[in-house]
Structures are given as structure tokens and as C-alpha cells.
Chains A and B, each alone.
Chain A
């Protein structure tokens, strides 16, 4: 028996309300099951990132419905969406996007402290473990400006994993990394999917990432061209 879909998109459409209106996403439907590693690929401006923001509940579809774990998320309010992102999603962006005033460990523990499920000490311990798993032992107290691009991206992945999310959303996570670091990130993503059963959706231009994914959603001009 195949597992139930974690994400189900039904006719998602996103129109920017500018003059004249711009359609970013047009009638997109698909399903993604738990534990899958899915790459979203396509030329620049095809709506890949816009789709990711919709999946991550950072943006709202103009039309269509989006189900997460069987729940309709389309009409949830801002706080419910924030809580959903906090507890169940993790984001990894191209430009690592760490908070510059905080150390690596503080960046990783921030979502845990906001969620408040763990005591501060437990959060710190978990933060260390996550950084350790990313090969960042001894880097806990460095601020982002003292770290290399690859290290920063791994801190960002550790942070994305902070609250043990079911879904990890990557927006060009390897876009700014050299081939060694890219390979490392791809390996980490595969481990997360295979060993921990996390679902990974990655928007990418990187053929390595696309090739290694379980499935690929090909997009063109805001539509799903094909899924393979």
C-alpha cells in the first residue's frame, strides 16, 4: 500500500495583482508522498520559486486548494500558517539567510526556542547535535561572517531541521556552492529522505540535484509541463 500523499495541490493558480495582472502559477496539480525527494526544475521565471512559496505557506494561491497531510491549508489565518512553518516545515535558501547578529548555534536554536517545546538547555544540546551531524563541530559559536559559504549553508540546513520538520523546502540550496559542497548537500538531503523519512522539495537549476531526485516536476511558463 502506497503511503498517503503529504502534499496535494489542486489547480493552484497565483496571479500577482499588478497592472496588468501577472500569472505566476497556472492551474498546477500534483501529489507528493512522504519520504520523497522531489526536484522542481525549469527555466528562470517559470514559476518554480513561486510554487515553493505557495507550498511553504509563505504565499496564498489566488485559486485552487493546497492540502498538507490531509488538511486544507488554503484558508488558514496568518498565525496558523506561521505555526505550521515553525513546527512542520524547514526552509533552505540559496543565500543561506542566517541572522548575522547570532552565532551558528543561536541561529539553529532560534526556531526551537520560538516553538518552546524544548527547554533552553535541551534546545542547545539538540542544536549542537544538528550542527555536529552537518560536520560543523567546533563552529557553534562563530557568527555567519566568520564562516565559509558551504559552512553557512550547512548551518541553514541544521536550522531547517531544528523542529524536526516533516517537509524541507529548498530554494536553489546548492546555487551558491562549489561542486564539493553541492555534493555534500545533496548527500545530506538524500539521507534525510531515506533514513529519516522526511519529504524534500527542491527548486533547482543544478542538474546534479535534479538527476539525484526521486522525481522531477518540470515547469514552463507557470504550468507543470511534465513529472518524471
Chain B
């Protein structure tokens, strides 16, 4: 079987080597298709991964907040589910906002080895420096835990998150806010909450400009500080969770919500609109790229079908020698397949080269040097090869069937 295969392959290779120009054109077609497939998909997937990474890490993977998606069912409705009772316009109890039994939730998450949870309380205060006033949304956190859950630390231009613990009344605000108030690191401000509590806060850190979610008008303080400023001791209203596997977020969020009733929002839910955009982008990309590979296989079709047409005489003589029609079909499929294999290798080299060029381009964004994010995974090489070889087999198989159908008697009769 192996010997027969190598014999037929040898015949196929001999045929190919005698028609150099067509062979080169077909190989170039596949090569260019595969090369650009790799370059384009590296760009698209690379930028997508970069983007998704930013999406994932911009905030905790799951955020449990003290909101409830639908009001708690009324006891009367629960007691008589099938009764003709409808309760409308009822008044809900005016609860203290905050997550009840948050310690329980923390313990549940703490029991998992792949997750870290950080409790926080957000509220609002008014900052006052001299004659100026600014509203500030404060987030009270445990710095040690929060640093594990979000990327806050990365976006600090000055100071560190830990400074909140070491300095009494420490606060971290954005650079924009600081310049509006005319304050700098180490300056002291007065903060008054809606409940009328007033404290002095000292700036122990500044967020970089342009980090929307942190800068602008929000600031970080110690959790205890936030609780006492808003007069809500022991209360928290948000739990941020970071997972080792961000893609498990959706599933875990659902289970947490089902168990505790509080809204648990995964990053996927938060960015559903972006994610659906990415799906559309991928569909477009793979459609275009597949079309390139498909067109490349036309070259193989042409080579194989001319080869079959040119070799009708040889097909007849081989048939008379005792080669079966299956043998001859195999010879011509192998011709196409060999061309595709060489084309794929050339395409890999081309794609690799294009990626090197693209990856070497540097550009400046707001002072920092960046390169184009590229996905250089082996997976793309495998997909491009798989798709090309598959289409090549089809492209070669169609004309190769004709080789199998050649009736040697027709050829011999015509020649003699």
C-alpha cells in the first residue's frame, strides 16, 4: 500500500516538474492566499484579543451590586400561587441600601481557589478646598484585596493604593479633578457627605489622565472611611470578583445571582454590545479570507485539469499496463495536493514575513510607544493550511475524476 502510494506520488511529482510555469503560478496563488490569510488574521485576532483583554481587565470580571433585577415577590403571591390574587402598587420596605449577608458571599467566593473577591462601598461626597467645591463619587475599598481584583494600581500616576492604609484619611483622585481643585499630592481637602459627616482627606495618589472609569470625578478611599463618611457602618454595596479564567465569569455570575438574588454582572454582560460587534467582525474576516483561499484553489483546478487533458494518452497507456482507474485518479489528486502543500509552506513563510514587518512598526500614542498587537498563534497556521489543503483536494479531485473516466480504448483507437 505504501509502495503503491509512493509510486503514484512519484508519477505525480514527475508530471508537476515538467510543467514549471503553471506549477509556479498555482503555488504562488496558494502561497499568497495563505500568506495574507495569516497576516490579516494575525492583525484582526491580535487587535481583538488586545481589545477583549482591556474589556476584561477594565473592571472586575463579575460585579455583584445591591441592585435586584426584579422586585421580591410578595408573601401573599408566594403563599397562594394559583389563587386569583394580584397585588399591585404595594410599597416596598425602605431598606438600608447595601448587600445583606455580604460576608456569606465573600466566604462562598473565598472557598474557590480560582477567584478573589473584593468588597467595596460607593457613595458621594463634596470636596471643598478654599472656595471651590467638587462632587466626588467615592469608592471605599480594602487596598490589599482590591489590587488583586482590578487594575487600579496600573493607572496610578503618583502614589500607591497601599497608601490608603498607611495614611489616615487618605484619598486617591484623578489628575483632572486635582487640577480643577488646584491641589497636588499630599494636600488636604474637606469632604462632606450627604449625611452631613465632614472629614479631612489627604491626597495619597493620583490617577493618570484619560482613564475614564477612574479619573474624572471618582476617588478611592479606605472601606472603613467610606462607611463612616456615609454613616453606613459594616455596609458594602458592591463586590468585585476576579477569576483565573475570565471566560467562566458568565456562568459563575448566573449561579451567584440565583443563589443570593443580587444582580451579578459578568464582563460579558457588561460588554455584550462590543462582543457582538466582534462576532460580526470575525464573520466578515473569515468570509473574505476564505474567498481568497478558494480563489487560490482555482489555480490548482486549472493545473490539474490541463494536466489530465494533456495526459490522456499516458492515462490510456498506464491503464493498458494495469494501473486501475483509481490509481490514475489518485495520481492527479496528488498533483493538486502536492502543489497545495508547497503553496502552504510558501504561504507560511510569506505570512511569517508579513507579521515580522507588521510587528516591527512602532507608533506613538500619547507619549508611549506601542506596536500593533498581532496574534501569532500556531492555530492560525493550522487553519490556513487545513482550509487550503481541503479546497485543493476538492479542486484536484473534480478534474481527476475525468482521468479515471478516460476510456483507454477511445484513445488507442484514435491513435492507431
A residues near B (Cβ < 8 Å) are 49-50, 53, 56, 58-59, 78-79, 82-87, 89, 91, 93-95, 97-102, 110-111, 113-116, 159, 163, 171-172
Write out, one digit per residue, whether chain B residues 325-339 have a CB within 8 A of any chain A CB (1) or not (0): 111000000000000
B4 within 8 Å of A (CB atoms): yes
A78 CB contact (under 8 Å) in B7, B316, B320, B325: B325
Determine if A58 and B319 form an interchain contact, defined as CB atoms under 8 angstroms apart: yes
Which residues on the A side are within 8 Å of B18 (C-beta)?
Answer: 101
Determine if B321 and A91 form an interchain contact, defined as CB atoms under 8 angstroms apart: yes
Determine if B323 and A82 form an interchain contact, defined as CB atoms under 8 angstroms apart: yes
Which residues on the B side are within 8 Å of A163 (C-beta)?
Answer: 322
B277 within 8 Å of A (CB atoms): no
Q: Determine the distance from Cα of A82 to Cα of B324 in the docked complex, in whole angstroms.
A: 5
Determine if B4 and A114 form an interchain contact, defined as CB atoms under 8 angstroms apart: yes
A-contacting 9-mer, from B104-112, B279-287, B407-415: B407-415
Which residues on the A side are within 8 Å of B15 (C-beta)?
Answer: 101
A53 CB contact (under 8 Å) in B314, B325, B412: B412
Interface size grouping (class) on chain B: 20 to 34
Q: Determine the distance from Cα of A100 to Cα of B408 in the docked complex, in whole angstroms.
A: 17
Closest to B416 in A: A94
Determine if A56 and B317 form an interchain contact, defined as CB atoms under 8 angstroms apart: no
Q: Determine the distance from Cα of A86 to Cα of B323 in the docked complex, in whole angstroms.
A: 7
B157 within 8 Å of A (CB atoms): no
Write out, one digit per residue, whether chain B residues 5-26 have a CB within 8 A of any chain A CB (1) or not (0): 0010000001101100000000
Determine if B416 and A110 form an interchain contact, defined as CB atoms under 8 angstroms apart: no
Which residues on the B side are within 8 Å of A91 (C-beta)?
Answer: 320-321
Which residues on the B side are within 8 Å of A110 (C-beta)?
Answer: 7, 318, 321
Which residues on the B side are within 8 Å of A100 (C-beta)?
Answer: 314
Which residues on the B side are within 8 Å of A98 (C-beta)?
Answer: 317
Q: Determine the distance from Cα of A56 to Cα of B314 in the docked complex, in whole angstroms.
A: 17
Determine if B412 and A99 form an interchain contact, defined as CB atoms under 8 angstroms apart: no
B93 within 8 Å of A (CB atoms): no
Determine if A87 and B324 form an interchain contact, defined as CB atoms under 8 angstroms apart: no
B89 within 8 Å of A (CB atoms): no
B313 within 8 Å of A (CB atoms): yes
Which residues on the A side are within 8 Å of B314 (C-beta)?
Answer: 99-100
Q: Determine the distance from Cα of A97 to Cα of B319 in the docked complex, in whole angstroms.
A: 12
B3 within 8 Å of A (CB atoms): yes
B3 CB contact (under 8 Å) in A50, A56, A99, A116: A116
Which residues on the A side are within 8 Å of B14 (C-beta)?
Answer: 101-102
Determine if B408 and A113 form an interchain contact, defined as CB atoms under 8 angstroms apart: no
Closest to A116 in B: B3
B416 CB contact (under 8 Å) in A79, A82, A93: A93
| CB contact under 8 A between A86 and B322, given known A99-B314, A114-B7, A116-B4 | yes
Determine if A58 and B321 form an interchain contact, defined as CB atoms under 8 angstroms apart: no
| CB contact under 8 A between A79 and B413, given known A97-B317, A99-B318, A114-B7 | no
Q: Determine the distance from Cα of A56 to Cα of B4 in the docked complex, in whole angstroms.
A: 23
A79 CB contact (under 8 Å) in B4, B316, B324: B324
CB distance from A203 to the nearest CB of B (A): 9
Q: Determine the distance from Cα of A94 to Cα of B317 in the docked complex, in whole angstroms.
A: 12
Determine if A58 and B412 form an interchain contact, defined as CB atoms under 8 angstroms apart: yes
9 closest residue pairs by CB, A with B: A86-B322, A82-B324, A85-B322, A97-B317, A101-B14, A91-B320, A59-B409, A113-B7, A53-B409
Which residues on the B side are within 8 Å of A99 (C-beta)?
Answer: 314, 317-318
Determine if A171 and B412 form an interchain contact, defined as CB atoms under 8 angstroms apart: yes
| CB contact under 8 A between A114 and B412, given known A101-B14, A101-B18 | no
**7 A-B contact pairs sorted by A residue (CB < 8 Å):** A82-B322, A91-B320, A94-B415, A95-B415, A95-B416, A100-B314, A114-B4
CB distance from A149 to the nearest CB of B (A): 15
Q: Determine the distance from Cα of A148 to Cα of B14 in the docked complex, in whole angstroms.
A: 23
Determine if B321 and A56 form an interchain contact, defined as CB atoms under 8 angstroms apart: no
